């Protein structure tokens, strides 16, 4: 067993998977740093710092009107990020692995694998009674989605096989352990008068007590981003439940779909309006929070090292993304309604 685990933790299986996908090291002068690669056919792949979905801030709650809300993604991300900084396992070595991303954090477990497994299977289980589709079909879709995300982490050279398996198993265990309490948590999150206070206080305490590292790592900032967005979204759901009429009945969902062209136009308009509102919210709230905090601690807003300090990084990230989460669940639907995009 120990030998199997060592093999899964090594970089060789990742490199072999990349070769099977047609990804090979670049020419000799670029292969030493592993920051570039070529695919079959000779197309050059430059080094990348980010990829679609690489930021934990993009993880969304499995919540829809008439569907249970769940803190599962926030719990999963926090546990995953903390585990990384406790274990301190390195990412795959390059060479032999071709790295298509550069991240200054540790590898075990893969939080992408954790988030993909948690969100897809939680969404499937939570919506099975609200929508007319078979459980088998939902589980298959969740399996395919989470598998593709896991394989993408191997392809980009960011995780070992053991990192991905570990992340998937942790999420599966958390789903199994928390599932019996989903109804209770959902009821408290939507009806308790203490929900807004707890949604802010608990995540802030977790962020301020994040494990300290000798060298700076973006994991604390990423974790604060996720917890902040989740806190803002939770408060938004709570307000919607108190003051907004539900858009869907509790029984099975019946859809009267408009013509496909009309539906696509509405979807595109809603997307563009929503993205615009969220970008504007982030821009103004981030600027205001940074100016206030930097003025309070008498540092320059452009001082990157100062912005990484605990007393500045945590509150400015939390305020910014809790505002984004709140806007996404309250302000954006309100604007959609005012514009008739329903």
Question: What residues are annotated to the active site?
Answer: 112, 159
The whole-angstrom separation of Cα 228 and Cα 200 is 8
8 A C-beta contact, residue 294 and residue 301: yes
**What backbone torsions phi and psi does residue 37 show, to the nearest 5 degrees?**
-155, 170
CA angle 322, 317, 300 (to 5 degrees): 140
Residue holding tokens 């600027």? 287
The two three-digit tokens of residue 241, written as one number: 């439940």
The whole-angstrom separation of Cα 203 and Cα 209 is 10
8 A C-beta contact, residue 227 and residue 76: no
Cα 342 to Cα 51, 117, 132, 279, 329: the distances in Å are: 32, 30, 21, 21, 15
Residue 293's H or E segment, with its range, is: helix 260-296
**What backbone torsions phi and psi does residue 296 show, to the nearest 5 degrees?**
-65, -40
Q: Which of 214, 199, 112, 123 is nearest to 153 (CA)?
A: 112
Three-class DSSP category at 78: helix
Output the 3-class SS for 125-146.
HHHCCCCCCCHHHHHHHHHHHH
Burial (CB count <10 Å: 0-12, 13-18, 19+), residue 183: exposed
CA torsion 112→113→119→124, rounded to 10°? 150
């Amino acid at each position: 067993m120990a030998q199997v685990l060592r093999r899964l933790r090594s970089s060789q299986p990742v490199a072999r998977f990349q070769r099977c996908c047609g990804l090979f090291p670049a020419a000799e002068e670029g292969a030493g740093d592993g920051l570039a690669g070529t695919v079959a056919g000779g197309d050059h792949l430059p080094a990348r710092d980010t990829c679609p979905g690489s930021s934990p801030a993009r993880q969304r709650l499995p919540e829809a009107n008439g569907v249970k809300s769940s803190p599962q993604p926030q719990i999963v991300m926090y546990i995953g990020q903390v585990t990384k900084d406790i274990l301190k396992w390195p990412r795959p070595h390059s060479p032999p692995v071709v790295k298509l991303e550069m991240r200054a954090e540790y590898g075990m477990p893969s939080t992408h694998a954790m988030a993909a497994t948690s969100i897809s299977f939680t969404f499937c289980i939570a919506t099975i009674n609200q929508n007319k589709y078979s459980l088998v079909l939902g589980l298959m879709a969740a399996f395919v989605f989470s598998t593709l995300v896991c394989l993408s982490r191997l392809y980009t050279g960011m995780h070992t096989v053991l990192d991905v398996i570990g992340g998937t198993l942790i999420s599966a265990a958390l789903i199994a352990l928390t599932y019996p309490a989903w109804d209770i948590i959902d009821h408290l999150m939507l009806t308790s008068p203490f929900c807004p206070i707890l949604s802010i206080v608990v995540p802030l305490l977790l962020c301020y007590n994040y494990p300290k590292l000798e060298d700076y790592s973006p994991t604390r900032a990423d974790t604060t981003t996720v917890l902040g967005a989740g806190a803002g979204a939770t408060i938004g759901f709570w307000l919607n439940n108190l003051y907004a009429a539900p858009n869907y009945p509790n029984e099975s969902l019946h859809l009267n779909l408009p013509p496909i062209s009309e539906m696509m136009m509405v979807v595109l308009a809603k997307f563009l309006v929503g993205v615009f509102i969220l970008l504007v919210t982030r821009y103004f709230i981030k600027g205001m929070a940074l100016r206030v905090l930097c003025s309070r601690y008498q540092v320059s807003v452009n001082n990157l090292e100062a912005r990484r300090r605990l007393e500045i990084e945590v509150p400015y990230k939390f305020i910014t993304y809790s505002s984004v989460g709140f806007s996404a669940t309250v302000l954006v639907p309100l604007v959609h309604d005012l514009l008739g995009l329903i």
